[in-house]
């Protein structure tokens, strides 16, 4: 058993010594390593150590030092074990030798355990008590080692940390492997590129680990090596630039005794663009020829869809070619050094020509740039400058429009789209009207179009919305449209008001033209008479016009030209008024026919003879010929007189027609107001108060306007009684308007029963006005007819008296009585009577269209015959035979005028209208029916050509055709048919061809066209268009169907079944006596038939 207690005491005594010893030796080892490495770092930092082997040496010394300190520390720490400390304590004499160590040995056999334990315990106590002091000699060296280690450690740390071991040259201390590689690594050189372009430089990287310097050797083919010193960095690396290279170059590097491999850098020769052509092929619809485009960098403006064709060639084979723009590219085909291709630029941008050579050489020279700006074909711009705003529809429902269309290149189609929107909000399907576009398809077109709304089923209050669309000439046919415009259809009240204003304007213009025509006629007559007084000077050889007279004549011609223009404008305004009234349904057919007759009067006033005589005067003034000017002025004065008479007649007819039209419009307005008031009375109890009040106020305003119209019309009436009746009607309308206003107020306040009662009172006031105005109109028409009949009777009586007096003059001359002053005075008095009669007839003709203007012509002829009679007996040697002839002709002319007056009286007395135009419709219908029959008969004769009796039937057909032509000529003279002269000429030409035996398909077609023209003329008079496609049915024959043979009827009667009166041309073929007998015979026959 060993001494456990003693061993524990020894351990407690030696353990602190061993710990301190280990710490001291460890500090010494670390301090030594740090001191050595710090010294090496400082040496490297100071540049004392350059080669990389110093790192290895430093680590080797450090390792040896660590091993040495470790060995010494192992021995010193081992000497401080418990057993060795016990021996050292015995050696120091603190205990006797063997006193401690014997207890530590193995006890001898049979040793008493108790005694051993007591000895062990005593020895342990002794060690505990005085062991520390006894071990002081042992602890001293341990303290020395500890202090020494601590000092060395501090010194090493200071040296190591201050040397900067992390960065700089000292950092190599931590890379011993690199230092080892540097000792054994070769010198290397590398070029960053193996092939460069001429003029570029190449970078060489030299590596010589562990070296500070190196040498770079360069040479071109066929040259000697050139050296360049290279300073390496701390890692032994360096990068050098070769500079601009013109040819291939060889390079190698050396450092000390080591040398690198040799590298070769090749230099590529540049590629040049030899030829380049870019051609622009424009889209087909532009009709532009292809053309080359510049490639010098100027911006190209290209229409969208343009195809660019590229052709070029480079000085070296190419690998690829393309036009590049941004991230996109248009590839071109490559063959050797050439390249071709086409592409269509889609977007604007700058295109660069990118060429890649087969060997990678770049393209020398400036980069080819192609700035492209794509111009898109814009949508056509469409405007409607006329009317250019929302407007009211005109009375005629024909809206003149101007459509302005603009496009980049061309316009192919323009259309006007319109649709009707009813006042209730119902929208009809759109109607599309195509406008004609010029064939050359311009880029701008100003087109005119008339929007006809007559057959659109429009009602008052409806609107029409319209806009224009246009398509350009692109393949996609881009379309643009204008803004939408609104046309509002005026109410019937507004239409009538507009018609009344237009009528007043036409009436004022007629008055102005009539006054100007009379003034111009007097001026022309004065100038013509002035030339007559200057005739003596002309006879003496002064053929040229003076400057002053020439200027006056030019002023007359200019004024006449202006008057013709005004009359033309007035005729167009009158026709527009008629058409607008017809389209709007305002005014009856009789009133519209009256307007048609007035237009015909103006047409006669603007006769071709007047224009020809005006042109003759202008030619005479240009020639400065006095005789021609005198004759032209006289003839112009005659034409001006005829124009004035026609205009004055038109003025009188228009005044009467305007009165009839005003009465008709006011009658319609009063009846419409009465009907709408009844409707309002029925709906007021269930209607919205505000809307009902607004509608009633509108009715009140229209009724007040009706009252004002009646008052104005009453002031224009001739009779006092009629004026008072119209004023009474106006007062009734005014009372009705007041009741309507009160009804509107009651409705606004929600008092429906009083509003209805007041509305019924207003309706009772309005109801009789319509019938009263209708009676007034009928009475006025009857009165006008009676006035015309009375005037015709007076003219007939005066014509008879003048004929008897003229017959007395003829008998006196035939009996051989002396042509004295008394007979000449009688003849002059008869002439004055005829002149007064002419004026009377002209006034009568201005009041009724059934009084033909030919009566005035017959009376004028009689007046001329009387003047010749007076001239024949006024000489010193009277020519009695000539006087008898001329006097007889005057009697015949008076008889013919009397017969025409008698026939006109029958027409007027049998007419139902105040102006006599209604009967003209019946005549034209009958004539058209006869012409249709002639056409059918001619078509039936075509298969009979060459047969027996064919020529006889053809002559009969020709006679009937000629009779119809004469009737048309008579209607032309009466002014009852527009264009009757042209129809009569066509009928006469057809009669001549038939009479000559020339019947063919062309003649039949001409007869059919004449029949349709006559139908159209009749419809124009009626103011309506009949449907030619309507099925027609025949009727069973009656007793009235019996007709005379055509040939006999053509010779005995006219187309109306009356006796055919010989024409003036036929009477002129007879002697005066025979003419008198024939005229008297037919006059008596007519009187008998009238009775």
What is the DSSP annotation of 464-521?
EEEEEEEEESSTT--EEE---EEEEPPPHHHHHHHHHHHHHHHHHHHHHHHHHHHHHH
Among 305-309, 822-826, 892-896, top mean pLDDT goes to 305-309
More confident residue, 225 or 636: 225
Please tell me the total number of residues recorded for the chain in this structure: 1091
- Give the residue, 316 or 1037, on which the prediction is more confident: 316
Residue written as token pair 């006469």: 988
pLDDT at 278: 93
pTM of the model: 0.42
For residues 33 and 25, give the distance between their C-alpha atoms in angstroms, rounded to a whole number.
12
Q: Is the peptide bond before 387 cis (omega within 30 degrees of 0)?
A: yes
Are the C-beta atoms of 660 and 520 separated by less than 8 Å?
no
What backbone torsions phi and psi does residue 642 show, to the nearest 5 degrees?
Answer: -65, -40
**Is the confidence at residue 485, as pLDDT, over 90?**
yes
The SS3 assignment for 198 reads coil
Q: Is pLDDT above 50 for 536?
A: no
| Highest mean pLDDT of the ranges 163-172, 346-355, 951-960 | 346-355
Would you state the pLDDT for residue 333?
92
DSSP state of 1059: B
- The pLDDT assigned to 459 comes to 74
Q: What is the pLDDT of residues 417-459, one digit of tens each?
A: 999 987 656 788 899 999 999 888 888 898 999 998 887 877 7
Average pLDDT (570-589) is 63
Please indicate whether residue 639 or residue 580 has the higher confidence score (pLDDT).
Answer: 639
User: 143-152, 283-292, 357-366, 1048-1057: which range is least confident on average?
Assistant: 1048-1057
Given the structure tokens 């690594």, which residue do they identify? 185
- The per-residue pLDDT of the chain, averaged, comes to 76
pLDDT score for 1039:
37
- What distance in Å separates the CA atoms of residue 791 and residue 845, rounded to the nearest whole number? 10
In angstroms, the CA 55 to CA 170 distance is 9
What integer pLDDT is reported at residue 499 of this predicted model? 66
Q: Which of 709-718, 751-760, 867-876 has the highest mean pLDDT?
A: 751-760
Which residues, at least 6 apart from 1028, have a Cβ–Cβ distance to it below 8 Å? none
* pLDDT per position as a tens digit, 591-645: 556 666 666 666 666 667 667 777 777 777 666 666 777 777 777 777 767 777 7
Model confidence at 1046: pLDDT above 60 = no
CA angle 389-395-400, nearest 5°? 45
β partners of residue 255? 258
Model confidence band, residue 1023 (pLDDT cutoffs 50, 70, 90): very low
Model pLDDT for residues 966-1003, shown as the tens digit of each residue: 787 767 655 555 566 678 878 888 888 888 777 887 88
Comparing C-alpha atoms, which of 575, 221, 538 is closest to residue 398? 575
| Beta bridge partners of residue 480, listed in sequence order | 470
Regarding predicted confidence, which is higher, 802 or 576? Answer: 802
Sole residue written with tokens 């035979």: 881
- Rounded Cα distance, 209 and 234, in Å: 8
Q: What is the pLDDT of residue 1035?
A: 43
374 Cβ contact partners less than 8 Å away, ≥ 6 residues apart: 302, 303, 304, 345, 346, 347, 348
Question: What are the tens digits of pLDDT across the range 693-704?
Answer: 888 888 888 888
What pLDDT does residue 292 have? 93
User: How far is Cα 827 from Cα 1045, in angstroms, rounded to an integer?
Assistant: 47
CA distance 838 to 215: 141
CA distances from 770 to 523, 687, 725, 778, 924 (A): 49, 28, 13, 13, 33
Please, what is the Cα angle at 121 between 116 and 124, to 5 degrees? 120
Angle among Cα 945, 951, 952 to the nearest 5 degrees reads: 135
Confidence of residue 279 (pLDDT cuts 50, 70, 90): very high
């Amino acid at each position: 058993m060993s001494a456990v207690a003693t061993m524990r005491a020894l351990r407690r005594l030696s353990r602190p010594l061993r710990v301190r010893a280990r710490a001291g030796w460890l500090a010494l080892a670390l301090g030594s390593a740090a001191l050595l490495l710090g010294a090496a770092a400082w040496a490297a930092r100071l540049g004392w150590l350059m080669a990389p082997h110093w790192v290895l040496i430093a680590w080797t010394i450090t390792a040896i030092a660590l091993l040495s300190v470790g060995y010494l520390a192992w021995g010193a720490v081992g000497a401080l074990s418990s057993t060795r400390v016990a021996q050292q304590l015995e050696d120091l004499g603190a205990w006797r030798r063997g006193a401690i160590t014997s207890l530590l040995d193995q006890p001898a056999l049979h040793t008493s355990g108790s005694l051993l334990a007591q000895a062990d315990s005593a020895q342990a106590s002794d060690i505990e008590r005085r062991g520390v002091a006894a071990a002081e000699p042992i602890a001293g060296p341990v303290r020395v080692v500890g202090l020494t280690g601590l000092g060395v450690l501090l010194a090493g740390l200071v040296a190591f940390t201050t040397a900067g071991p992390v960065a700089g040259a000292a950092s190599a201390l931590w890379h011993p492997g690199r230092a080892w590689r540097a000792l054994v690594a070769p010198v290397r050189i590398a070029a960053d590129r193996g092939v460069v372009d001429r003029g570029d430089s190449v970078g060489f990287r030299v590596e010589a680990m562990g070296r500070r310097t190196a040498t770079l050797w360069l040479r071109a083919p066929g040259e000697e090596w050139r050296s360049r010193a290279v300073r390496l960095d701390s890692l032994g690396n360096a990068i050098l630039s070769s500079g601009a290279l013109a040819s291939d170059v060889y390079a190698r590097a050396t450092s000390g005794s080591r040398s690198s491999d040799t590298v070769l850098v090749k230099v590529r020769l540049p590629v040049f663009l030899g030829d380049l052509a870019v051609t622009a092929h424009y889209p087909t619809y532009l009709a532009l020829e292809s053309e080359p485009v510049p490639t010098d960098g100027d911006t190209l403006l290209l229409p969208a869809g343009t195809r660019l064709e590229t052709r070029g060639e480079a000085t070296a084979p190419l690998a690829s070619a393309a036009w590049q723009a941004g991230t996109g590219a248009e590839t071109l085909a490559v063959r050797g050094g050439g390249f071709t291709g086409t592409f269509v630029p889609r977007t604007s941008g700058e295109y660069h020509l990118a060429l890649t050579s087969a060997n990678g050489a770049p393209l020398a020279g400036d980069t080819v740039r192609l700035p492209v700006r794509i111009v898109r074909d814009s949508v056509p711009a469409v405007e409607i400058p006329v009317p250019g705003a929302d407007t009211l529809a005109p009375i005629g429902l024909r809206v003149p429009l101007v459509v302005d269309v603009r496009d980049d290149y061309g316009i192919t189609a323009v259309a006007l789209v319109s649709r009707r929107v009813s006042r209730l909000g119902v929208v009809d399907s759109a109607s599309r009207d195509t406008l004609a576009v010029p064939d050359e398809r311009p880029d701008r077109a100003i087109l005119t179009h008339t929007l006809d709304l007559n057959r659109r089923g429009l009602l008052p209050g409806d609107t029409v919305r319209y806009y224009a669309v246009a398509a350009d000439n692109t393949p996609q046919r881009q379309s643009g449209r204008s803004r939408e415009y609104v046309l509002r259809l005026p109410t019937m009240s507004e239409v009538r008001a507009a018609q009344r204003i237009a009528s007043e304007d036409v009436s004022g213009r007629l008055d102005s033209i009539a006054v100007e025509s009379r003034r111009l006629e007097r001026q022309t007559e004065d100038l013509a008479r002035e030339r007559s007084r200057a005739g003596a000077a002309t006879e003496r050889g002064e053929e040229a016009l003076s400057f002053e007279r020439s200027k006056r004549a030019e002023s007359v011609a200019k004024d006449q030209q202006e008057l013709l223009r005004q009359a033309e404008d007035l005729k167009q305004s009158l026709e527009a008024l008629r058409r607008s009234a017809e389209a709007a349904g305002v005014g009856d057919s009789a009133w519209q026919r009256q307007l048609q007759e007035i237009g015909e009067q103006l047409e006669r006033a603007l006769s071709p003879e007047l224009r020809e005589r005006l042109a003759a005067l202008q030619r005479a003034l240009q020639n400065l010929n006095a005789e021609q000017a005198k004759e032209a002025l006289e003839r112009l004065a005659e034409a001006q007189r005829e124009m004035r008479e026609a205009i004055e007649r038109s003025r009188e007819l228009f005044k009467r027609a305007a009165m009839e039209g005003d009465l008709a419009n006011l009658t319609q307005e009063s009846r419409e107001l009465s009907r709408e008031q009844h409707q309002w009375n029925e709906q007021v109890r269930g209607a919205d108060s505000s809307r009902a009040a607004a509608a009633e106020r509108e009715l009140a305003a229209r009724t007040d306007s009706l009252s004002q119209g009646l008052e104005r019309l009453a002031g224009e009436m001739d009779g006092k009684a009629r004026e008072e009746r119209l004023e009474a009607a106006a007062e009734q309308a005014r009372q009705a308007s007041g009741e309507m206003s009160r009804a509107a107020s009651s409705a606004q306040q929600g008092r429906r029963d009083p509003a209805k009662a007041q509305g019924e009172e207003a309706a009772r006031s309005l109801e009789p006005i319509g019938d009263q105005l209708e009676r007034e109109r009928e009475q006025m028409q009857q009165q006008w007819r009676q006035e015309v009949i009375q005037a015709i009777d007076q003219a007939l009586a005066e014509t008879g008296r003048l004929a008897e007096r003229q017959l007395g003059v003829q008998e006196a001359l035939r009996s051989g009585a002396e042509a004295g002053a008394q007979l000449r005075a009688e003849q002059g008095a008869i002439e004055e009577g005829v002149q007064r009669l002419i004026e009377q007839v002209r006034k009568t003709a201005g009041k009724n269209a059934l009084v033909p203007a030919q009566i005035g012509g017959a009376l004028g002829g009689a007046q001329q015959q009387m003047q010749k009679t007076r001239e024949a007996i006024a000489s010193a040697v009277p020519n009695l035979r000539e006087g008898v002839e001329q006097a007889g002709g005057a009697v015949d002319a008076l008889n013919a005028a009397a017969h025409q007056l008698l026939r006109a009286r029958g027409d007027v007395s049998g007419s139902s209208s105040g102006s006599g135009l209604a009967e003209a419709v019946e005549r034209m219908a009958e004539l058209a029916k006869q012409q249709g029959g002639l056409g059918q008969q001619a078509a039936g004769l075509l298969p009979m050509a060459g047969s027996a009796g064919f020529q006889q039937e053809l002559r009969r057909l020709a006679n009937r055709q000629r009779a119809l032509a004469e009737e048309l000529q008579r209607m032309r003279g009466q002014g009852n048919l527009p264009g009757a002269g042209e129809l009569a000429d066509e009928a006469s030409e057809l009669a001549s061809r038939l009479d000559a035996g020339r019947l063919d398909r062309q003649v039949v077609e001409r007869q059919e066209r004449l029949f349709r023209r006559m139908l159209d003329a009749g419809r124009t008079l009626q103011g309506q268009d009949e449907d030619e496609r309507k099925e027609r049915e025949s009727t069973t024959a009656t007793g009235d169907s019996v007709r005379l043979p055509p040939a006999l009827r053509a010779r005995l009667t006219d187309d109306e079944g009356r006796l055919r009166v010989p024409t003036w041309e036929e009477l002129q073929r007879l002697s005066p006596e025979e003419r008198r007998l024939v005229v008297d015979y037919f006059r008596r026959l007519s009187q008998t038939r009238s009775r």
